[in-house]
Chain A
Amino acid sequence: MTVTYVRRRAHRSQATTSTTSPPMRSRNRAPDASMDLLNQIIRQPLDPDYALAAARGTDPARGRWTLAVLAMIIGALFSVAALQTTREAPALQSERTELISRVQAAEKEQDQLRGRVNLLTQEIATLRAAALGGDEAARTMEAQIDTLDPVVGYVAVTGPGVLIVVDDSPSAAADARDRVLDIDLQVLANGLWEAGAEAISINGHRLSSLTAIRSAGDAITVDYRSLTRPYRVEAIGDPLTLQARFVESSAGAWWNDLAQNRRMRYEISDVKQLDLAADPGIVLRHAGRAAS
């Protein structure tokens, strides 16, 4: 503390006594002079030593060659940097396209694996039928399986139902609140279950009790697969009551509100026949010998 005080005082006395330095230094210093950054940048854009050296009067011819060498270095700096930037641009682009193609390849592989899951599921069903045999207990069990399979999303189903198409409102780019969120789709799906839907799929992804609807980044994912707008929600259920019961439910009110206040697209229509694929995420997890 004392050291800095002494040093500062010494500095100040030096500054006030030196009369040979250029006007900049002999000017009365403001208390915050050393921190007056922006003012200093604007008022003193030129290296003050130019004035000092000119006042001393040096030989202008001396050091011409260092100047030339320096100018060459500066020129080389410019061209090298420009070259490098232009050369790196295609490299970045190709990196990006490679990443995109890798993502696409992975998605294709996932599709293949899902197809294989479907094949194996069919095989399991055939084997199960063979293993159960044809007696009375086997037939009740088969009947039970047949009722439960469509409910859990284990098999593809067909039937009448409703189609609901929802989408962001046209002003979604300006206001994030005008976008369809994962919770909106969750409410929609839960409302449909509540209204008596037997099977639901969103953009072709069948919902089951294990399906997650959530957002990842900018997209909404169902079963961890990103959806693209618009969102088509298909639900199979009683054609006479499904739509009416959904509209009356709290989910219907929620979506009415979104459509009216946020101008989101919300179209609901009856469809004679819907084909919903099985949920490939549903796999046989546990198998045991039937009690005999």
Chain B
Amino acid sequence: MIPLVGLLAGIVLGIFVEPSIPQVLQPYLPIAIVAAMDALFGAFRAYLEGTFTDRVFVVSFISNVLIAAAIVYVGDQIGVGSQLATAVVVVLGIRIFTNAAAIRRALFHA
């Protein structure tokens, strides 16, 4: 319950406060969000399987976001930024789909 409330509060906060992201970090925001979605789906699946732990979630979320952004940053420096961004999205996308399918099975048994 608390995470859900926090999520909603965050969305509302983001809409009304409109914090401005520094120009340097802007290209990495979408990738960070994909990584965050991956961590979220993983956490929800773990929650349904009864193995959810806050600490693992926090650590996996932060490291996922940072690593995804760092990969794209390094890619930008060596000129393959958009390709590496695609790679990150593909890999995390596969994981998101797999976890979403597991969540669907756990929720609906279908």
Contact = CB atoms under 8 A, between A and B. Distances in A.
B26 A84 contact: yes
Q: Identify which of A37, A49, A66, A71 gathers the most chain B CB atoms within 10 Å of its CB.
A: A71
B85 to A, nearest CB: 14
The 7 closest A-B pairs by CB, nearest first: A75-B10, A79-B14, A71-B6, A72-B10, A54-B51, A63-B54, A76-B14
> SS class of chain A's interface: helix, strand, loop or mixed?
helix
Contact of B57 (A62, A67, A73, A84): A67
B68 to A, nearest CB: 12
B7 interface: yes
B71 to A, nearest CB: 14
A137 interface: no
Interface of A: 37-38, 41-42, 45-47, 49-51, 53-54, 58, 60, 62-64, 66-81, 83-84
Interface string B1-16: 0111111111111110
Contacts of B57: 67, 70
A46 B36 CA distance: 14
B32 interface: yes
Contacts of A73: 10
Interface of B: 2-15, 18-19, 21, 26, 29-30, 32-33, 36, 40, 42, 45-46, 49-61, 91, 94-95, 98-99, 102
A53 to B, nearest CB: 4
Contacts of A66: 54, 58
B14 A77 contact: yes
A78 B11 contact: yes
Contacts of A81: 29-30, 33
A50 B10 contact: no
A203 B45 CA distance: 66
B46 A67 contact: no
Given A45-B94, A73-B10, A80-B29, 13 more contacts: A45-B102, A60-B53, A63-B54, A67-B3, A68-B3, A70-B57, A70-B61, A71-B3, A71-B5, A75-B9, A77-B33, A80-B14, A81-B30
B13 A63 contact: no
6 contacts: A45-B102, A46-B102, A58-B55, A72-B13, A77-B14, A78-B11
Contacts of A71: 2-7, 10
A41 B56 contact: no
A78 B30 CA distance: 9
B59 to A, nearest CB: 8
A76 B6 contact: no
Contacts of A45: 42, 45, 94-95, 98-99, 102
A83 B15 contact: yes
Contact of A80 (B21, B60, B94): B21
A40 to B, nearest CB: 10
B53 A84 contact: no
Nearest to A55: B51
